[in-house]
Amino acid sequence: MISLITNFLTNAIQSGTSVLYGIYGETITERSGIVNLGTEGSMILGAIAAYIVAADSGSMGLAIICAMLAGGALALIHAYLCINRKANQLASGLTLMFLGLGIAAFYGREYVSVSITGLNKIAIPLLSKIPVIGEAFFNQDILTYLSFVLCPVLWWFLYKTRKGLFLRAAGEDKEVVYAYGKNPQSLRYLATVLGGMISAIGGAQLSIAYTKTWSEGMTNGRGIIAVSLVVLAKYNPSKAMIGAYVYGGAQALNVILQSQGVEISPFLLMMLPYVITLVALFVSSVRKGTNAPNELKNIIGG
Amino acid sequence: MKIMKKLLALGLCVSMMTAMVACGGSDSASTESTSAAGEKTTIGFIYVGASDDYGYNQAAYKGMEAVKAHFGDKVEILNQEKVPETSEASDVLEQMIQSGATILFPTSFGHLTPAEDVAKNYPNVIFEHQGGMETMPNLGTYFGTIWDPYYLAGIAAGHATKSNKLGFVAAFPISQSLANVNAYTLGAQSVNPDITTTVIFTGDWSDPAKQTEAANTLIADGCDVLAQHQDATKTIVELCEANNVYTVGYHADASELAPNMWLTAAVWDWSGLFVDICQAIMDGKWQGSQYDAIYRGGMAEGIVDLAPFGKAVPQEVQDEILALKAEMIAGTRHTFENEIKDQNGNVVCENGSFLSEEQVESMNYFVEGVIGTIE
Amino acid sequence: MSRLKNNKSLMQALSWIGMIIIAFIIFGIFLLMQGANPLEAYKNMFESTLTNQIGISKLILKSVPFILLAVATSISTRAGLVNVGVEGQLMIGMLFTITAANFLFTSLPTVLGLILLAIVGMLGGALYGGVAGLFRVKANMNETITTVVMNYISYFIVSLAVYGYLRDPEGFNWPMSTQISDSLTLPKLFGTVNIGIIIALLVVALVWYFINKTKTGFKMKVVCGNPNAAKNAGINVNKVRFFAMVATGAIAGLAGMIEICGVEGRLRTTTCQDYGYLGFLAAWMAWNNPVLSVATAVIISFLSVSGNVLEFKNNLPASSTQILMSIVLLAIMWRGKGRKES
């Protein structure tokens, strides 16, 4: 029983981590007033770029850097289309998602059967020995630890630095930013590209750390769901983990219930993560209302 | 400047097309090219998933490659991957016929009805469908009894397990998967009747993250041998090696990924069959042949087989399995024979009888000892 | 004045076509890198799709759902909502249609049966759209987000039904519904083309009329432009929004009915997958103008139909069509609305 709880927590964190990066990235982007459905595309490009580099060079650091570059590049197209060409943000994001999935599938063909060493789990001494939760939280891969660390770092960036302040201001009221002599558009560029880069780490976590496999379309909607979960996280990196682990936990629950032979249709159980996400969105909306950035409301109808 | 030139060229191209539409009219279905001597035969293959998925579709793709290698210049091959089992498949098949295809291989069970829709309009094109139970004058069907090697793999698993709990990661509760789970379980239970198999459906043919979650959960639950019916098998096989859990593969031999924990696998080899079918059609001998019908092959024909054993399988177990394999090839033993009960205790196979291929391929139950829910 | 306007729209149409050609050139370079001859490849694509009846029929048949889904999306947009949910609403529309066709109306005469099925399909889509609408107006949940999540849920609902009560008892336990009876298939216009295209074009005209000429259409415009002003003018903003979500869903559901009764005949878990997203893109490429979205829908349909030939003639993977389609859409987006707007 204990091992099942530990397994539940481990699985919840592991399936939540890639989504967590997506939420981090998209939170930064949305805070500046840009919504990017292309997060899915950035993630899958991150996954394949990391895998190719990991397989060919063996350097995991380089793999992660390349993943970020690939994810950032796709987000850069999004920023250009939305900011300079005034394209609809959702349409642009959706198209870039298709583009990212297509490119990743195309260049990933030769890597389907390639094995890599990847990033293995590192147990943190003492902490990983804590009963029940130790194994789940402190025996993970380095990218999972990084996702824990990013939480306060991104919060600090958004709420305690001047750059973060202006970035958020760009999302609330760009006139204010102009008044301070800053250019909200360049802040949005920064936020979108940074968002794409962070999301791409989530893809890399999937391919080189968690599964050590490349498979076509392996992000499988995790980037899209991340965009939804940003709302649940109240556009705040400090609450991103709630969103990610609600989804990850529901996914873990689906698998555990199946393994226990519960007589519920597997399709109902597979539906669980999405239903729980919807319910969580409902509850949080009814209880606290939305706090979407103002500029965002013009795009997705806050 | 160069761009301007290209633009012009393309513009010209487009206007030419428009002109062709205007004058061309309808020249539908004008492809009655029977393969005369010296002329190329065009063969079309459609796959439901990615042709490099390291699984079901790649097995068919390899069969295609064998056809290509065998006939060389005599054939032109058209490939289309990721064709959904909807009207999309009819579209692609018809477009292939327009491009001159006279032999078509729809390689997924679900391609059957779309293929039938096209086949009735093109009586001169021969369709060879994978995995069905229906035929038409110009549509035959073939499949392999993959559950037989899965039963044998179950015996290896039955000897290997210490916890008497086997794990199985499947994608969807389709009959092919149910048959594999059941065969595997019955094989293991022939060693020890107390063995159970826990099944998790991932809802995806190759989502490595969901495969990892399912495998980790099964291992945490005490399963010490994992088998699977997924397209890409690599993730679970490697995960088993890393966790010191025995592994049974599927589709293709992946023993190199798990040198210590590999038991064996049920694998496909379509190459001989595909070449043979194409030869029969090109010689004009298809009509009335065994392929112009419901054709089933198994280990005897080499369409399905047991992958080489890993070092984790003791010699005496290997001998036992190979002896049984010989009996199966001889037709004296069957995977689903004598009394078999489903999860609810209903008898699905009577003593002294065995299930027909049709019964196996339309299974909708788990046998006793399987932990899992279908609907 | 009107001549000037004509000139302007001609210029726009030309620059539009120019962008598409540039997209093809970019993809052509990609093809060259793969060792394929782009001119040959494009010739094959155009020839196979536009120079014979079979190709043109496929083009028309495939355009129908994209047209309807684009028009459906644009209704929500006109009320200031971004509804990505036509994917799920289409699924539920198909589910309702096939359920009614196989269990309720099996023996009805064609005309009556089809009319009832159209109503049922629209009901299904409207219901699913309405749920998202309720979330919007009652719980103040962002409709973009809820519809995205509901699209996933609809997929599992369909799977549940197709693996469950809908499953064809003679289908060897394969996950697909029973084929609908012949009497419930849409009548054909010519070849394989059914009356779906006429219905789609009628809907386009109706929606155009509705948006531009009716009182509710005007209210939607006000709500879209400035919800607060609309409130002050005595418009029930929530009512208008809810109505828009329901109307979008109903049209998406109608698209589902046409696909089931006109093309597919059965429901499978993969039937019409991603059509909703492509329809959404068709709408936004056409700036949610119902008439223009017919053009964008046809472009998407063309790429989807001729993409097959591109792939098997040049031995390219399925991802190449996806890349081509994305490049074309990005090019159209890059072109933007042009001077007209700013």
* pLDDT per residue as tens digits for the range A174-224: 888 898 888 999 999 999 999 999 999 999 999 999 999 999 999 999 999
Chain A stretch 1-40, residues whose beta carbon is closer than 8 A to a beta carbon of chain C:
35
Provide, as residue numbers in chain C, all residues whose Cβ is less than 8 Å from the Cβ of B98. Answer: 48, 52, 54-55
Q: What pLDDT score does B339 carry?
A: 94
Neighbours of C70 (CB within 10 A): 34
Q: How far apart are CA C310 and CA B334, in angstroms?
A: 46
Q: Where are the domains of chain B?
A: 41-144+270-297, 147-267+304-371
Superfamily of segment(s) B41-144+270-297: Response regulator (3.40.50.2300)
Judged by CB atoms closer than 8 Å, whether chains meet at B175 and C173 is answered as yes
Chain A interface, best mutation among C223, C274, C299, C319, by max A CB count within 10 A: C319
Does residue C231 register a pLDDT over 70?
Answer: yes
Does residue B10 register a pLDDT over 80?
Answer: no
Q: What pLDDT score does C172 carry?
A: 83
The residue in chain A having the minimum alpha-carbon distance to the alpha carbon of residue C269 is A267
**B318 Cβ contact list (under 8 Å, min separation 6):** B309
For B192-245, the pLDDT digits (tens) are: 999 999 999 999 888 999 999 999 999 999 999 999 999 889 999 999 999 999
Band of pLDDT at residue B38, cut at 50, 70 and 90: low
**Subunit partners of chain C (3 or more CB pairs within 8 A):** A, B
Task: Copy the structure tokens of residue C242.
Answer: 């809810």
Judged by CB atoms closer than 8 Å, whether chains meet at C148 and A224 is answered as yes
Task: Copy the structure tokens of residue B258.
Answer: 């798990």
For B97-123, the pLDDT digits (tens) are: 999 999 999 999 999 999 999 999 999
Q: What pLDDT score does C296 carry?
A: 93
Do the strands B246-251 and B225-229 form a parallel or antiparallel pair, or are they unpaired? Answer: parallel
Q: What pLDDT score does B88 carry?
A: 93
Chain A stretch 269-288, residues whose beta carbon is closer than 8 A to a beta carbon of chain C:
270-271, 274-275, 277-278, 281-282, 285-286
Task: Please give, rounded to a whole number of angstroms, the shortest distance from the CA of A285 to a CA of chain C.
Answer: 6
For C136-172, the pLDDT digits (tens) are: 999 988 899 999 999 999 999 999 999 999 999 888 8
Task: Copy the structure tokens of residue C79.
Answer: 């009320």
The CA-based dihedral angle spanning residues B133, B201, A147, B257, taken in that order and rounded to the nearest 10 degrees:
-70
Judged by CB atoms closer than 8 Å, whether chains meet at B208 and A211 is answered as yes
Q: Which of C52, C54, C176 is facing B110, going by the closest CB pair?
A: C176
The residue in chain C having the minimum alpha-carbon distance to the alpha carbon of residue B25 is C52
Residue C135 lies in a domain: yes
Q: What is the CATH number of the domain that holds A143?
A: 1.10.3470
Q: Report residue A114: phi and psi, to 5°.
A: -85, 135
Judged by CB atoms closer than 8 Å, whether chains meet at C176 and B87 is answered as no
The residues facing B267 across adjacent strands are B251, B305
- Average pLDDT, rounded, for chain B: 89
Chain C stretch 269-328, residues whose beta carbon is closer than 8 A to a beta carbon of chain B:
270-273, 305, 308-309, 311-313, 315, 317-318
Does residue A286 register a pLDDT over 90?
Answer: no
Does residue B31 register a pLDDT over 80?
Answer: no
Q: Which of A81, A85, A290 is facing C140, going by the closest CB pair?
A: A290
Burial letters A122-134, b for 16+ CB under 10 A, else e = eeeeeebeeeeeb
As for how many domains chain C has, the answer is 1
Residue A102 near residue C322, CB atoms below 8 Å = yes
Stronger pLDDT, A131 or B326, i.e. the higher one:
B326
Please name the residue that has the structure tokens 């969103």.
A243
The alpha-carbon radius of gyration of chain C (Å, integer) is 21
Stronger pLDDT, C6 or C304, i.e. the higher one:
C304
Judged by CB atoms closer than 8 Å, whether chains meet at C319 and A88 is answered as no
Q: How far apart are CA C68 and CA C275, in angstroms?
A: 11
Q: Which of A6, A112, A220 is facing B53, going by the closest CB pair?
A: A112
Residue C91 lies in a domain: yes
Provide, as residue numbers in chain C, all residues whose Cβ is less than 8 Å from the Cβ of B78. Answer: 312-313
**Cα separations in angstroms, C129 against A86, B353, C3, C200, C224:** 28, 53, 42, 19, 18
For B70-88, the pLDDT digits (tens) are: 999 999 999 999 999 999 9
Using a CB–CB cutoff of 8 Å, tell me whether B228 touches chain A: no
Provide, as residue numbers in chain C, all residues whose Cβ is less than 8 Å from the Cβ of B64. Answer: none
Burial class (CB in 10 A: 0-12, 13-18, 19+), B321: buried
If you average pLDDT over residues C171-188, what whole number do you get? 92
> How many B×C Cβ pairs under 8 Å?
123
If you average pLDDT over residues A77-97, what whole number do you get? 93
ipTM: 0.92
Band of pLDDT at residue C285, cut at 50, 70 and 90: confident
Judged by CB atoms closer than 8 Å, whether chains meet at C277 and A94 is answered as yes
Does residue C1 register a pLDDT over 60?
Answer: no
| Host domain of residue A277 | 2-300
Does residue C301 register a pLDDT over 90?
Answer: yes
Residue C318 near residue C304, CB atoms below 8 Å = no
Residue C19 lies in a domain: no
SS3 content of chain B, % helix, strand, coil (to 5): 40, 20, 40
**Subunit partners of chain A (3 or more CB pairs within 8 A):** B, C
Burial letters C271-309, b for 16+ CB under 10 A, else e = bbbebbbbbbbbbbbbbbbbebbbbbbbbbbbbbbbbbb
Task: Copy the structure tokens of residue C39.
Answer: 């001119």
Judged by CB atoms closer than 8 Å, whether chains meet at C153 and A274 is answered as yes
Superfamily of segment(s) B147-267+304-371: Response regulator (3.40.50.2300)
Judged by CB atoms closer than 8 Å, whether chains meet at C318 and B9 is answered as no
Q: Report residue C204: phi and psi, to 5°.
A: -60, -50
Task: Please give, rounded to a whole number of angstroms, the shortest distance from the CA of A135 to a CA of chain C.
Answer: 31
Chain C interface, best mutation among B15, B16, B87, B373, by max C CB count within 10 A: B87
Judged by CB atoms closer than 8 Å, whether chains meet at B86 and C268 is answered as yes
Q: What pLDDT score does C336 carry?
A: 74
For B138-152, the pLDDT digits (tens) are: 999 999 999 999 999
Does residue B12 register a pLDDT over 50?
Answer: no
Q: Which of B106-110, C5-9, C237-241, C292-296 is predicted with the least confidence, judged by mean pLDDT?
A: C5-9
Q: How far apart are CA B57 and CA B77, in angstroms?
A: 16
Chain B interface, best mutation among C24, C173, C269, C301, by max B CB count within 10 A: C173
The residue in chain C having the minimum alpha-carbon distance to the alpha carbon of residue A80 is C334
Q: How far apart are CA C72 and CA C75, in angstroms?
A: 6
Stronger pLDDT, B91 or C231, i.e. the higher one:
B91
Task: Please give, rounded to a whole number of angstroms, the shortest distance from the CA of B4 to a CA of chain A.
Answer: 23
Residue C97 near residue C256, CB atoms below 8 Å = yes
Task: Please give, rounded to a whole number of angstroms, the shortest distance from the CA of C16 to a CA of chain A.
Answer: 15
Same fold flag, B41-144+270-297 and B147-267+304-371: yes
Judged by CB atoms closer than 8 Å, whether chains meet at A271 and C153 is answered as yes
Q: For a pLDDT cut of 70, what percent of chain B falls above it?
A: 90
Q: What pLDDT score does C16 carry?
A: 83
Band of pLDDT at residue B27, cut at 50, 70 and 90: very low
Residue C49 lies in a domain: no
Q: What pLDDT score does C339 carry?
A: 41
> How many A×B Cβ pairs under 8 Å?
110
Does residue B356 register a pLDDT over 60?
Answer: yes
Q: Which of A4, A11, A213 is facing B234, going by the closest CB pair?
A: A213
Provide, as residue numbers in chain C, all residues whose Cβ is less than 8 Å from the Cβ of A265. Answer: 160, 163-164
Judged by CB atoms closer than 8 Å, whether chains meet at C319 and A106 is answered as yes
| Host domain of residue C164 | 59-306
Stronger pLDDT, A136 or A187, i.e. the higher one:
A187
